[in-house]
Amino acid sequence: MPTTCITVRVSNGGKHFDAPDAKRTAGDKVTVWKNHKVCWKCPDGDLEIRFTGAWPFKKGKTILTAGKNNCTDERETQDLAQTQSFPYTATITRKEHGITTPIDPELEVEPGGGNDTGPRRTLHRPKAAEEEQKAGKGAKRETWAYQGVECYVAKKELPGYVKVQLTPREPDGEGPWCWVAQTRLRGYAPLHRLRRQAQNDRYCVTIDELDAHASEGYQNQRPVGYVKMAQDLDHVPLMRTYNPKGKRYYYTTDVTGEVDPYAPEISSADAAHLLRRTYKDFPVYNPDDSYFCPTKEAARQIIDDSLVARLRYSQAAMDCDDFAHLLKGAFIEDAYNIYDVESSSDSGPSKPYAVGVVRGLDVDDRVHYMNVLVTSEGLTDQDGNVNDYSIWLVEPQSGELIEPSKFPNHLRSIGVLMI
């Protein structure tokens, strides 16, 4: 039986999780399969693992401990029928420094491995929140839809920069910190803070955005500093998320901790189900289990920024399937670029965008390739289930997003979906 050893590190004021034998690692969440042995170790101090809610293993619930650089006892994960996440507390005690560091990671257990055909997970609400609610530890968290990158800020101090704190997600919370330039430089724009009574602040960088938000009742406070409009080694994306229920905005540089757990996602099977409302069954190829759903606005931004539609058609070297794969690649590149380039890619999104390639017959019965896209604005029902998924065909040669009622005008049938 395979074993995953999760190494926890807390040196240099940061935290890092390494589990090379796991299915995947995204920030402080490690995903393993059912009937799989798991243990922990820490090279920085004595380790204590304490699960705060449900117990993920077959044996009785207990606290797992190990001395510095030693492994805890192995535990075998339960034989689950569907994916489930288990929050826990890892406490590291560095005796030589007299320091105890508690952190709150997550262990996710999936029902199978690889491209298994078992039950697939769709997002209803953040998984840690589900466990907390089952244990009676609090209310449901709300869904925040990802709207794209606003600008690029520094995550560490640079010459001529000032540290600023952005607006918190919740009124009683603490907003994220970042660094912005004090004076305007070439390639920089002012980051304006906008405020409206009883709403979260908004931030924007263009005159058009200022005018649009002024009409919504936002008042321009003042620029908090100057930000870059392109990413480099010293700057990371400042991302905008939106809560449609509370009509509030939140800005963050933390993809794994602040975007992934709150943004809508969908399984490839459910994405195919949406398409089957228009078309009959077709083969589905899905290298990933679940996908990250951006808003239509964020998807539109990625399509426009890719410039794929500006390329010249060539039947020999640049025909419809090449356009479709290039646009899919633009979404892959965007997801890859949204992380701190000085750290590992584990700090980036844990899931790819819900965009794929479709092959079918056009109205003239010729084989044609397009893209398929699933978006969500984050609207939920009373139980916290995301219920506003929208599926679009995308013509990569023009960048046009096509709504379902017009699908048959572009593809008469679909033969293959790869998402």
Q: Identify the burial level of 18 via C-beta atoms within 10 angstroms of its C-beta, where 0-12 means exposed, 13-18 middle and 19 or more buried.
A: middle
Kindly give, in sequence order, each residue whose CB lies less than 8 Å from that of residue 361, ignoring residues fewer than 6 positions away. 367, 368, 411, 412, 413, 415
* Residue 371, pLDDT score: 94
* Residue 349, pLDDT score: 56
Kindly give, in sequence order, each residue whose CB lies less than 8 Å from that of residue 41, ignoring residues fewer than 6 positions away. 5, 6, 7, 8, 47, 66, 69, 70, 71, 72
Cβ 31 vs Cβ 110: under 8 Å: yes
Report CA 322 to chain centroid distance, whole Å: 27
What ranges make up the beta strands (E) of 106-187?
106-110, 145-154, 161-165, 177-181
Structure tokens at 35: 């009937």
CA–CA distances in Å: residue 284 to residues 100, 168, 414: 49, 41, 10
Q: Identify the burial level of 294 via C-beta atoms within 10 angstroms of its C-beta, where 0-12 means exposed, 13-18 middle and 19 or more buried.
A: buried
Cβ 373 vs Cβ 301: under 8 Å: no
* Residue 419, pLDDT score: 80
DSSP category for residue 268: H
* Residue 223, pLDDT score: 87
Q: Identify the burial level of 404 via C-beta atoms within 10 angstroms of its C-beta, where 0-12 means exposed, 13-18 middle and 19 or more buried.
A: middle
H or E element at residue 227: strand 219-228
* Residue 287, pLDDT score: 81
Using alpha carbons only, give the angle 154, 156, 160 rounded to the nearest 5 degrees.
75
Instruction: Identify the structural domains of the chain with CATH numbers, from first to last.
Output: 3-119 (2.60.40), 145-258 (no CATH), 265-418 (3.30.460.70)
* Residue 116, pLDDT score: 34
How confident is the chain (419 residues) per 10-residue block, as mean pLDDT? 80 69 79 87 88 82 85 87 85 75 83 39 30 37 77 91 87 84 91 77 76 78 88 86 80 75 80 84 81 87 88 86 94 70 46 89 92 84 72 93 89 86
* Residue 129, pLDDT score: 34
Report CA 271 to chain centroid distance, whole Å: 17
* Residue 159, pLDDT score: 94
The strand pairing partners of 6, in sequence order, are 40
The strand pairing partners of 391, in sequence order, are 374
Specify the 3-state DSSP secondary structure of 178: strand
From the list 260, 63, 16, the residue with the least C-alpha distance to 146 is 260
Kindly give, in sequence order, each residue whose CB lies less than 8 Å from that of residue 318, ignoring residues fewer than 6 positions away. 311, 312
Cβ 382 vs Cβ 140: under 8 Å: no
* Residue 130, pLDDT score: 38
- Helices vs strands, H then E, count in the chain: 6, 27
CA–CA distances in Å: residue 264 to residues 83, 86, 328: 16, 19, 19
Report CA 193 to chain centroid distance, whole Å: 25
Give the integer Cα–Cα distance in Å for 177 and 39. Answer: 34
Structure tokens at 2: 């395979």
Pairing label, strands 29-33, 290-292: unpaired
| pTM summary value | 0.54
